[in-house]
Amino acid sequence: MIQALLQFSSSIACNLHKSGSILQHDFFLNLLLKQKCLDLIVMNKNMDILNKERPIGVFDSGIGGLTVVKKISQSFPDENIIYFGDTARVPYGSKSNSTVIEYSIQDARFLMNKGVKVIVAACNTASSIALSAIKKEFNIPVIGMIEPGAKSAAEKTKSGKIGVIGTRATINNKAYSKEIKKINPALDVYEKACPLFVPLAEEGWIKHNAVYQIAEEYLKELRGKKIDTLVLGCTHYPILSEVIQEVIGKDVVLIDSGVASAEAVNKELKVAGIFAERNLPGFQEFYVSDIPIKFKEVAELFFGRKISEVKKIELEELTESI
């Protein structure tokens, strides 16, 4: 701004000097500088408002990230949210690390092209493998699931025995145990991969008999460890939380990383000073890479309300450069 003013004033001074009128020079120069300052202040203020009104971007491999959208929209009803679910390539948990990084950067780039102000990687697999790569690629705040969820679990446990369930990739990378141990090395962490929970949630089988049977098979080992806290280390899992709670035991505290990540979003927006400043409900836009009808059906079941149109994008759009 200062450089622009100096250039502007220099130009005016030169022109007025040629006219030979010093008084006119001083009067008009001051007048024009004041107007230029006012114009620039208004322009900056308008830009600041535009930045604050930009949406929050959320991505996941499928429908699971809607659990995070729900928490964010409850916490910040004024904020606009754009969601992308990569339903054509779900699940990420069975993919190699290099593939997860590639897909996650493509997902984040899609959101960047939509003009988001913050990116939430609402996928524990992406958070455990690709978060640092996403942060290096883009110059806006990027929030994952692992750190907020681990912090919440470490704070909530009383016995010091924490269970973690997640996709194979998240569990194999020991993302949660590393983060929890970083917070408190004395805590005991027991991890269990539960890959079948993802397709069950994607199908909308929230309380199906099959879910109970599979949950019993997965969770009996953790039950035997006498855990008092269980991290739902995949954003699909809160969709099945009623069954998980029933099977693991009512005294075990379930940690929903979506809740914890909403708190992290609050912190980032506050630090950057980019909270939306209007007293109107924010909009929500939903994009998927495949099967929008099924996505809409399960999403409405989960939200308990109708949602706006779900738009399908082609995979080619994800692989295009920004």
Partners of 66 in the beta sheet?
none
DSSP state of 282: P
Arithmetic mean of pLDDT, 47-76: 86
In CATH, what number is assigned to the domain containing residue 235? 3.40.50.1860
Catalytic residue among 14, 37, 123, 194: 123
Catalytic residue among 14, 37, 194, 234: 234
**Domain containing residue 165:** 147-257
The span from the CA of 110 to the CA of 318, in Å, is 6
288/247 same-domain check: no
Q: What is residue 308's predicted lDDT score, i.e. its pLDDT?
A: 82
CA triple 92-269-298, angle to 5 deg = 40
The span from the CA of 277 to the CA of 157, in Å, is 37
Total residue length of the chain: 322
130/165 same-domain check: no
Partners of 258 in the beta sheet?
none
CA distances to 240, 274, 318 from 230, in Å: 13, 33, 35
**Each residue's pLDDT tens digit, 260-315:** 888 899 999 989 899 888 778 899 999 999 999 999 988 888 888 898 899 999 99
210/287 same-domain check: no
Number of domains, the chain: 3
20/92 same-domain check: no
Annotated catalytic residue 37: no
103/152 same-domain check: no
Annotated catalytic residue 14: no
111/19 same-domain check: no
pLDDT band at 14 (very low <50, low <70, confident <90, very high): low
106/116 same-domain check: yes
